[in-house]
Amino acid sequence: MSIKRYGTVQTGAGGKTLPFARAVEADGWLYVSGQVAMENGEIIDGNIVAQTHKTIANVLAILEEAGYGVEDVVRVGVWLDDPRDFWTFNKIYQEYFGEHPPARACVQSSMMVDCKVEIDCVAYKKKDA
């Protein structure tokens, strides 16, 4: 089995080095680490709308870097800071995943950083032998 890691040298808030890869690919499976509305190492200002768009954009950028698309996503995990944001989040989420809906879990959780949403995903793409 071959394993490829993406983004093993990255920084988060305050310039701290993050001790994990943005994504890891193994035999056609791509595991994308939890993404938040981070840009240049800092969480962007904004409500659930702005933060959801940025968070999904970060996930999509990692998928693209690894050669995957939204149609390859088989599972998504979502953490919302405030359950009142659920329906607003869903409306935006559907804009990106509506034609290719993956399996999904969505829970309310306290966040480790000052953000409103975190998203991770698993994608699969059959690799040529």
- Residues 25-67 pLDDT 10s: 999 999 999 999 999 888 999 999 999 999 999 999 999 999 9
pLDDT of the residue at 14: 60
Quote the DSSP letter at residue 94.
H
* 129 vs 127: CA distance, rounded Å: 6
- Provide the β-strand partners of residue 105: 77
Nearest of 67, 54, 53 to residue 23 by alpha carbon: 67
**Tens of pLDDT along 68-118?**
999 999 999 999 999 999 999 999 999 999 999 999 999 999 988 899 999
Asked if residues 117 and 79 have their Cβ atoms less than 8 Å apart, the reply is yes
Residue appearing with tokens 């953490």: 79
